[in-house]
Amino acid sequence: MSSSDAPISAVLFDRDGTLIEDVPYNGDPDRVHSLPTVADTLDGLRELGIAVGVISNQSGIGRGLLTSEQVREVDRRVNALLGPFDVWRICPHSPDDGCGCRKPLPGMILSAAEQLGLEPARILMIGDIGADVEAARAAGAHAVLVPRPETLPEEVAAAPLVARTVREAVGWFIPALAEARP
């Protein structure tokens, strides 16, 4: 089932808790592990010619808990496991910095759309928390929440679409990648 008249030309993913296991303030590439259905879904998107990207708040930099280099090392590991990605956007700011890029603001999604040469309406954002969904809505993109046990119930209730897996989330907009139903 498609929720859009315009075809999806790019899928943007939150990094921690969506593409990889969430390890708070992780600066160690050896602790990067892909989540189920992610690698196959990304491969399928690439085979269909759909751009893929990463949109990630990394406040550990702004809070002084991580260095930019540590985040780059983790991102390199993500890219080695799951890449290549067409676009990466990282917000290094703490919540108190007042930047325009930190989710739930739309800055990173709008910037990625510009780099990809796409209208936000042709982008799907997939994440595990409300800020991911809110950023997509603010940008004019589509959003699907793939909650984890830590996702707040009110975030699940507020999401326009909720999926069990990344594959299911993508399949609602790109039927060729829908999970097989029993």
Catalytic residues: 14, 16
CB 66 within 8 A of CB 58: yes
The CA-CA-CA angle for residues 41, 137, 125, to 5°, reads 10
Long-range contacts of 58-62 (CB under 8 A, 24+ apart): 58/90, 58/91, 58/92, 59/91, 59/92, 59/93, 59/94, 59/95, 59/102, 60/25, 60/27, 61/92, 61/93, 62/92, 62/93, 62/94, 62/97
**Distance between CA 175 and CA 32 in Å, rounded?**
29
